[in-house]
Amino acid sequence: MTAVVLENRELVHGPSTRSKRHLEVRLPGGIPYRTGDYLSVLPENDPALVDRMIARLGTRKDRVCTIESEAPHGMVPLGRALRVEDLLTRFVDLAAPATPGVVARLAHATACPPERAELERLAEVDRTERGQDRGATLLDLLERFASCEVDLALVLELLPAPRSRQYSISSAAEVDSDVALTVSVLEAPEHSGGGVFRGTASGYLQRVRAGDRIVASVTSPPETFRPPLDTSVPIVMIAAGSGIAPFRGFIRARTAAAAAGGEVGPTVLFFGCQHPEWDDLYAEEFAEHEKSGRLEVHRAYSQSPDGEIRYVQHKLAAEHERVRGLLSHGAHVYVCGDAAGMGRSVEGALQDIGTTIASDHDGTAWLERMRQAGRYATDVY
């Protein structure tokens, strides 16, 4: 389906914080979503990458081509006249790391013996063993190895199709007809050394403007990663950075239910970011709910610590008595964010709390029982 972007604004203002965008998107009429759903977005390539590839191929962006034979991934439309710029923008992924098979094809097309030998070497080693070349894309290699002779047809054959990326919807279906997204923009040094690399999907969502159309679809999370149907059940949400996205939806749904006179249990958020003045996402919005008593927020600031509390897992440990009390009343616990860092540390903090609850003092087994009972759910990446 095609959705319309209504709004795209920056959420952070820190000297070193990664860009985070708030988008409002209107789905076509009749397309429903549920609180906790994802929006899967099919991205387009960065125009700067498209221009670089066009320059390397020595062609023009307005040149019109008709593809007669199907590429391996079947994404490029057959028998349809398209501009080169459109082909390279919408139907291939220019930012994908080159596979060994792709590198081998480039070696075969390279005339200069030293360059061909280096490409053959890269093709024979696992991508993780390529050192500084492990993230090299087809475009990076074409720019590095000038004697490699390729044309548009071969490039379209070698490049993979673009992949949809899932983003947690940060609005609530109960109160918001339009879909909100909270997107952290992936940024890293460009492999070529000539600038900043931005993630294909997050960079695309950073660029789109109000009125633009995006290709998207609504997809579902595991049913355990939704707020309880019984709003009287307490919930504990734990997030860092853009991991706040699904929980903003949970909060909006539950505070709206409370405002309408419904019975709503404690709604508690543990949130980690860098600094209260930089990236405390949705702080003003949440403050209104805190004043009304409908939301309880515990924050941890890594660049403005409160004593020993720097990260969200530290805040969780400091508030272990509060968490224990909520768990004793049947609270559901949700975690969203980075798996390797925050996710693992938060799990450890919860297991520590579990040792004080479980009769056998086995926090690991206790947390697994919570998971199996549908009271502990994670969305980590």
Are 182 and 12 in contact by the 8 Å Cβ rule? The answer is no
Please enumerate in sequence order all residues whose Cβ is within 8 A of that of 351, keeping only pairs 6 or more positions apart, or say none.
363, 364, 366, 367
Residue with tokens 């249990």: 265
Please report, as a single letter, which amino acid is at residue 261.
Answer: G
What is the DSSP track for 209-221? -TT-EEEEEEE--
Residues 6+ apart with CB under 8 A from 36: 168, 169, 221, 225, 226, 227, 246, 249, 250
Rounded to the nearest 10 degrees, the angle between the axes of helix 320-328 and helix 344-355 is 70
The one-digit pLDDT tens for each residue of the chain (381 residues) are 999 999 999 999 977 678 999 999 999 988 999 999 999 999 999 999 999 999 999 999 999 998 887 655 667 788 889 999 999 999 999 999 999 999 999 999 999 999 999 999 999 886 556 555 567 899 999 999 999 999 999 999 999 999 999 999 999 999 999 999 999 998 876 655 556 667 899 999 999 999 999 999 999 999 999 999 999 999 999 999 999 999 999 999 999 999 999 999 999 999 999 999 999 999 999 999 999 999 999 999 999 878 888 999 999 999 999 999 999 999 999 999 988 889 999 999 999 999 999 989 999 999 999 999 999 999 998
Q: For residue 149, how many C-alpha atoms fall within 13 Å in the half-sphere facing its CB?
A: 4
Cα 358–360–364 angle (5° rounding)?
65
Q: What is the pLDDT of residue 269?
A: 99
* pLDDT, position 381: 86
The predicted pLDDT at position 308 comes to: 80
pLDDT, position 191: 58
**Length of the chain as a residue count:** 381
Q: Write out the H or E segment, with its range, that includes residue 334.
A: strand 332-337
Contacts of 373 (CB under 8 A, 6+ apart): none
pTM to 2 decimals? 0.91
Q: What percent of the chain is helix, strand and coil (3-state, nearest 5)? A: 35, 25, 40
Interatomic CA distance for residues 67 and 231, integer angstroms: 55
CB atoms within 10 A of CB 78: 11
Q: 235-240 and 267-273: which strand pairing? A: parallel
Helix (H), strand (E) at residue 48: helix 47-57
> Mind listing the domains of the chain with CATH numbers?
2-41+164-219 (2.40.30.10), 47-158 (1.20.990.10), 235-380 (3.40.50.80)
